[in-house]
Structure 1
Amino acid sequence: MESWSRYLCNWVKMSANVGKVLIFDLKGPFAHFRKYYTNSSSLSYSFPPRTTIIGLVAGLLGFERDSYYESFNDDKCMVAVSIRALIRKIMQTMNYTSTKSYSLDKILAGGTNPTQIPLEVVCPVHDRELSYRIYFSHTDPEIYGGLRRRLEEELFVYPPYLGITEFIGEIDYINEGTISKPSKKDDLIDIRSVCRKNAIAINGLSFEIDGDVLQYILEKMPSDFSNDRAVTRYNEYVFEKNNNELRIKSKEEFFHLDYVESDRDVSENIIFM
């Protein structure tokens, strides 16, 4: 696989939006981001994978199903996510109805036998809703500008949802941010987004920040699809259980991001997925 630096160079050369990132929150009461290796029991990731986020953005812009994978691969599209509300998971049993062996009239009349499938649901701990902050940039000015206009006007082609269509969500546009040139340092840095494991130096995790003990969780998930829905890249991602920043030694470039939220200046370090 090409190095992340190669992707970064391509992005810098091709993009008319260098240094600009769109920032918005994806919110909702429940979420289910299905793990790719689960079968009869549908387990969920704690946050949306990169493939889910680009699918969300493609839906907001009106791309047809399975038509956008090449347009949003990682040498054109840069995505990061941070978890903004404490989460917990519960198991619920869902009743599914087979639609293959019955006529529509019989299905509507309730004359089919339901199939019960366990479903893991992501819920907020204290807040009324989940909140994931999405950071997005793209080399194509039409895609980038089109998403910015739709975020500003709150007019989307397809409605947002959190993993499955039953969990309808909402989008809160925060602002357009400015990223500084990537840096590479040996010192510990605080990262606000989830972080790729391969971006962290060996023994590069700190387990304390400002007196708080940090608890890290690792999840492996797909990061890119080809047009035939074959996964072309997997990554392992680290996040902090209690919604603290990650304190790491990075062996790759990271970005410093500045933006304004509700008249308040915000500065964060992020690593793209």
Structure 2
Amino acid sequence: MGQESLDEWVADSGDGHPDRCLSFTVSGPWGHFRRVEGNVVKQTYRIIPRTTVAGLLAAVLGIERDGYYDLFASGSSAIAIEPVRAIRTLNMPMNTLSTASGNLQSLNGPGKISVKLPNPTALRQQHNYEVLVEPAYRVDVWLAETARYRELREMLESGKSHYVPSLGLSEHLAEIEYHGEFDVETVSENERIEVDSAVPNAVDDVVLRAGTRCQVEESPAFMRADSGGRTTTEFTTYAYNPDAQPLVIDGIDTVAVDGRNVVFV
């Protein structure tokens, strides 16, 4: 496919959403997306945060930490997230060692390549982690940067990744199933409709139905690099069904991807 043709395929439609997008499912036996607010129990977001999706795709592309924020910035990317399994959690106690610089020790002496690791003789600290059980999310993504979009498509098609993908914590390894590249079609403008994805910034537009559960959470959406590493610049509030079923939404623009109704952010 020529560059001009590819540009046409991934260009924004002018309706606030892209013409086409890539779609995949990320899943694993465990997941943990640490909530920003502190607690004795290290709680997890139920919906994989947009910033975590960006980090996951940066790992696929081989982009270094703090080097991908502009690529996934607002206006330069679009992401829709759909839970495809009922969301379940449990509390799991874990014994941990401090990774603060004062608690690390070098394995090699001066003048040699040195690797610093936590002191194995130090006392462990036990923390309770709230973890997701068998989480799975269908993700639709578009990137404005054509070269990166094409590279991501090639990596997903070949089933390759520069870094090992995970669902939050590095020990929660993930699998990525690529579904393909699909047209993005407008199906609703200010109409009542069932939406399969989590719905961003539209809590007041959810139409509650008997027997249908709806939960809400706010999670990081966009970040920028700074002198201290990175800073969250914007949060998104998601409404979602923890049973991985659609929600009825009234009065927001919805699009169709591969026969599913989703909302991008």
Report the TM-score range of the alignment, normalised by the length of the smaller protein: 0.7 to 0.9
Aligned to 2:211: 213
Shift of 1:241: 2.0
| Contact 1:217 1:240 (C-alpha < 8 Å) held by counterparts | yes
Aligned mates of 1:247, 1:134 — CA distance in 2: 20
Deviations 1:76-115 (A, max 9, x none): 0100110011121111111111243352459688311111
Instruction: Verify: 1:191 aligned to 2:183, yes or no.
Output: no
Gaps of 5+ in 2: 1-10, 108-115
What letter corresponds to residue 101 of structure 1 in structure 2?
N
Of the structure 1 ranges 97-106 and 242-251, higher mean CA displacement relative to structure 2 is found in 97-106
Query: TM-score scaled by structure 1?
Result: 0.81
Secondary structure of 1:247's counterpart equals strand
Aligned mates of 2:94, 2:261 — CA distance in 1: 39
**Are the structure 2 counterparts of residues 102 and 176 from structure 1 closer, same or farther at C-alpha, using a change threshold of 3 Å?**
closer
**Are the structure 2 counterparts of residues 239 and 76 from structure 1 closer, same or farther at C-alpha, using a change threshold of 3 Å?**
same
- Give the total of aligned pairs: 241
Aligned mates of 1:221, 1:107 — CA distance in 2: 31
Aligned to 1:103: 105
Q: Alignment partner for residue 160 of structure 1, among 152, 159, 165?
A: 165
Shift of 1:179: 0.8
Q: Percent identity?
A: 28
Aligned mates of 1:109, 1:206 — CA distance in 2: 54
Mapping for residues 1-273 of structure 1, pairs under 5 Å? 11-12=12-13, 18-99=18-99, 100-104=102-106, 110-123=120-133, 129-181=134-186, 183-186=188-191, 188-196=192-200, 198-199=201-202, 202=204, 204-208=205-209, 213-228=211-226, 229-251=230-252, 253-257=253-257, 259=258, 267-273=259-265
Deviations 1:93-151 (A, max 9, x none): 1111124335245968831111111111011xxxxx33111110111111111111001
Of the structure 1 ranges 101-110 and 143-152, higher mean CA displacement relative to structure 2 is found in 101-110
| Contact 2:82 2:196 (C-alpha < 8 Å) held by counterparts | yes
Shift of 1:162: 0.4
Aligned to 1:6: none
**Are the structure 2 counterparts of residues 241 and 18 from structure 1 closer, same or farther at C-alpha, using a change threshold of 3 Å?**
closer
| Contact 2:32 2:45 (C-alpha < 8 Å) held by counterparts | yes
| Contact 1:23 1:136 (C-alpha < 8 Å) held by counterparts | yes
Aligned mates of 1:242, 1:140 — CA distance in 2: 35
Aligned mates of 2:160, 2:92 — CA distance in 1: 33
Aligned mates of 1:20, 1:77 — CA distance in 2: 12
Aligned mates of 1:104, 1:169 — CA distance in 2: 31
Gaps of 5+ in 1: 1-9, 124-128, 260-266
Aligned mates of 1:102, 1:137 — CA distance in 2: 41
Aligned mates of 1:111, 1:159 — CA distance in 2: 29
Secondary structure of 1:236's counterpart equals strand
| Contact 1:89 1:121 (C-alpha < 8 Å) held by counterparts | yes
What letter corresponds to residue 262 of structure 2 in structure 1?
I
